[in-house]
Structure 1
C-alpha cells in the first residue's frame, strides 16, 4: 500500500482537507466581522454544499478528457488561485463592506465546485494505486485521516483566526494548497501509461457521458442497493447538525452550548478510534464486508436511539463517542465494496453521481429534520433517524449475498 503514488495522494489530500477547514473558518470569521449577522455566516455551508453538488454533476464531462490525477491537479491548482485571491481581498473588508462578503461567497462557491470534481476522482483513484487485498486498509487510512483533520482543523482553525487574523490563516492555507497541488503532480507523473489514459479511453464503445454514472447505478443491483442505503443514511444524518443538536443540548440535556462542542469532539474521537481499529483488522474484515455493513448500520441505529433517549449528559457523551466506530465500520466497508463491485474505468462516473445524490439528500434531510424538530421536538427526530436507519438495514442485508471475493466487475 505504501507506494509513492498513494503516499502523494494521501499526503496531498490530507493537506487539502486541512486547508478546506481553515478557509471555511476564515471565511465565516471575515463575513461575520463585516455583517455581524448569523444569517450570512449560516449561508456559507449552504453555498458550499450547493457548489459541491453541481461540481459532482459536471465531473463526468471532464472524466472523458482528463486522467484522474490530472483532474486532481487541475482542481487543486484552481482552488489555490481562488484562495490566493480571497487572501488578497479579505484585508479590504473594512473599506469595501458587504461587497467583500459577496466576493467571498463567489470564491467559496468556486472552491467548493472544484471539490465536486476532486472527491470522486480521489476515491476512484484509490483502487488504481493499491492492490485489492490492501484496498480496505487504504480506505480506512483515508477515512481516519479525514476525520482527524476535520477534528483538529476545526479546533485549531478558530484559535489561529483569533490569534493571527483571517488574512494570515488564508495565506497559510494557500501554502498548504500549493504543497497539495505539488503532491497531486507527484501522483500524475508516476502513473504508468495504462493507468494514465483518460477514464473514457477504454470505454468509448459504451458511449460514456455525464449520464453514465446514473445509468450504472440504475442497472447494477449491488451498486443500486448501496446507493439506496446511502440515501436512507443521508436522510437520517441531519440530526447531527448544529441547528438540531444545540436545542437538544439546551432543552433535553439542560446544558449550555459548550456541551454541543463536547458531543462533537466525542464523536470525532470515536470516529478516529473506530478507523484505527478497522485499520488494525482489515485482513479479517475485508472478507466479510456485507456483514460489517449490516452490523455497523444496526449499531448506528441503536446508538442514535439511545442518544435520543438519554437525559444524562455523560451518557449522551458516551453514545456520541460510540456512534463514531459504528459509522466508520459501515462507511469504510461500503466504500470498499462499491470500489470492488465497479470496474475501475466506470467508478468515477458512479462516484460523481453518488456524490451529487448524497449532497442533495443531506440538504433535504436538514429541511425535514428541522421541520420535525420544530413541530414535535428535538428528541423525536433522533427516534425518527433511528427508524430510518432500521429501514437501511434491509438494504444492507441484501448485500450479504455478495462476497467481495466473488463480486464481478460491472460489464459494459
Structure 2
C-alpha cells in the first residue's frame, strides 16, 4: 500500500470515528436526560469527556512510545469499539447502575482512549504527506473536522428523534468497527515512528513533549498563543452567545443559531480558501498566522461592542474564517519544525494544556459574564487575542517565515 492510500485510510477511519464520537454523546445525553430529567447529569457528560482527555494527554506519550503511531491508533479505536459495545448493551438492558455510575465509567474510558488517538493521527500526517502538500492537507483535514462538528450534532439530534438514543449508540458501535478496519489497513512501513528507548524512564517519556515545547521558541510561542486563544474562545460557547443575543442584540432565540451557524460557515470557508491558496500560505506561514490573530482579536472586540444583528453575523463569520487560517498555519509549522519522534508527544502535551485551559475558562468566563456583563467578557476575549498577536509579533524573528525548518 502506498503512502497516499495509507493517508486515505487514515482520514476516512478518523472521520468515521469523529462522527461516532458525536453521535454516541448525543444518544447518551438524550437517554440520561430522559431517565433523570436532570440537566446536571446531562451537562456532566461533556465535562467528563474534557477532563478524561486532559488526563489521557498526560499519559499519552507512554502509549505512543511503547506501541508506535499506527498501533496506538488501532488499539485506541479497537478498545473504544469494545467499550461502546458494553455501553450499548447497558442501555439496551437498562444496566445504568447507581447514579449512572457504569455509564459514566464507560464514557470516561472512551474519552481517555481519545487522548492519544488525535495526537497519533496528527503526527502521522507529515510521515504520509510531502512537505509541499502539508498546508493543503491540513486545510483538508481541518475542513473535514469542522464539517463533522457542524453537521454531526444536528444530524445526531435528528437521528435520535427518529430512532431513539439506544439505537444511535448501537449505530455508533458499527461506525467504530468500520473505523477500526480502516485504521488496520494503514501500512505500518509507511509510518516510520520510533518507539521508546528501554532505558528511558516513564516520567522522562511523559516530560519529553513538554520539554520540547519549553526548549523550542516556535513551539513555546504556538502553545502559549493557542492556550490563550483557547481561553478567549470560550466566549463563543453556546451559553455566552445566548446571553449576548438576549441582552445586547435584543432579538429572538433564532439569532443564537444564526450566529453559531455563521461562525461555523466561516470555519468551513476558511478551510476551502486555504485548500485553494495552499501554495501561497505555504510560503507565508508567519504572515498567515499573524494576520489570523490580528483579525480574530479585532473581530471579537467589534462583535462585543456591536448591537446590530446583521453586523454580528458578519463578525462571527470573520472570526471563524481567520481562526481557520491561523490554525492551519500553526499546524503546518508544528509538523515541519518538530522532530518526528517528538511530534505525537508535543501534540499530546498541547492537547492536555488546551483541555485544562478550556475547562477552567468555561467556569471563569461564565462567572465573569454574570458579574461584569457579556460585553465586558467579549472585550476581555478580544484583548487576550490581541495580546497574543503582540507577543507573536515581538518574537517573530524566532520562528520561520515558511515551513522550512
Give the TM-score, by structure 2 length: 0.94
Query: Match of 1:158?
Result: 157
Q: Deviations over 1:235-254 (max 9, x none)?
A: 21111112212111121122
Equivalent positions of 1:296-335 (< 5 A) are 296-335=292-331
Query: Match of 1:402?
Result: 399
The answer (yes or no) to whether the contact 2:193–2:340 under 8 Å persists in 1 is: no
Q: Cα 1:263–1:199, aligned 2, differ >3 Å: closer, same or farther?
A: farther
The answer (yes or no) to whether the contact 1:286–1:404 under 8 Å persists in 2 is: no
Distance 2:245 2:264 in 1: 17
Equivalent positions of 1:45-194 (< 5 A) are 45-93=46-94, 99=98, 101-187=100-186, 190-192=187-189
Distance 2:93 2:98 in 1: 10
Query: Match of 2:359?
Result: 363
The answer (yes or no) to whether the contact 1:267–1:324 under 8 Å persists in 2 is: yes
- SS of the equivalent of 1:311 reads coil
1:275 equivalent in alignment to 2:271: yes
Distance 2:199 2:298 in 1: 43
- SS of the equivalent of 1:209 reads helix
Deviation at 1:353, TM superposition (A): 0.8
Distance 2:123 2:97 in 1: 40
Q: Cα 1:400–1:7, aligned 2, differ >3 Å: closer, same or farther?
A: farther
Give the TM-score, by structure 1 length: 0.93
Distance 1:334 1:155 in 2: 29
Equivalent positions of 1:174-323 (< 5 A) are 174-187=173-186, 190-192=187-189, 195-200=191-196, 209-323=205-319
Distance 1:266 1:29 in 2: 26
Deviation at 1:395, TM superposition (A): 2.9
Q: Deviations over 1:332-354 (max 9, x none)?
A: 10011111111111111111111
Q: Deviations over 1:389-408 (max 9, x none)?
A: 01110232223553255754
Distance 2:22 2:139 in 1: 21
Gaps of at least 5 residues in structure 2 are none
Q: Cα 1:250–1:405, aligned 2, differ >3 Å: closer, same or farther?
A: closer
Deviation at 1:375, TM superposition (A): 0.5
The answer (yes or no) to whether the contact 1:92–1:100 under 8 Å persists in 2 is: no
Q: Deviations over 1:274-328 (max 9, x none)?
A: 1000000011111111111000001111111121112122221221122111100
Distance 1:223 1:132 in 2: 18
Distance 1:405 1:251 in 2: 44
Distance 2:147 2:398 in 1: 34
Deviation at 1:179, TM superposition (A): 0.9
The answer (yes or no) to whether the contact 2:286–2:402 under 8 Å persists in 1 is: no
Q: Cα 1:404–1:178, aligned 2, differ >3 Å: closer, same or farther?
A: farther
Deviation at 1:208, TM superposition (A): 5.3
Gaps of at least 5 residues in structure 1 are none
Distance 1:121 1:143 in 2: 16
- SS of the equivalent of 2:307 reads coil
The answer (yes or no) to whether the contact 1:289–1:404 under 8 Å persists in 2 is: yes
Deviation at 1:199, TM superposition (A): 3.5
Distance 1:406 1:263 in 2: 34
Equivalent positions of 1:22-41 (< 5 A) are 22-41=23-42
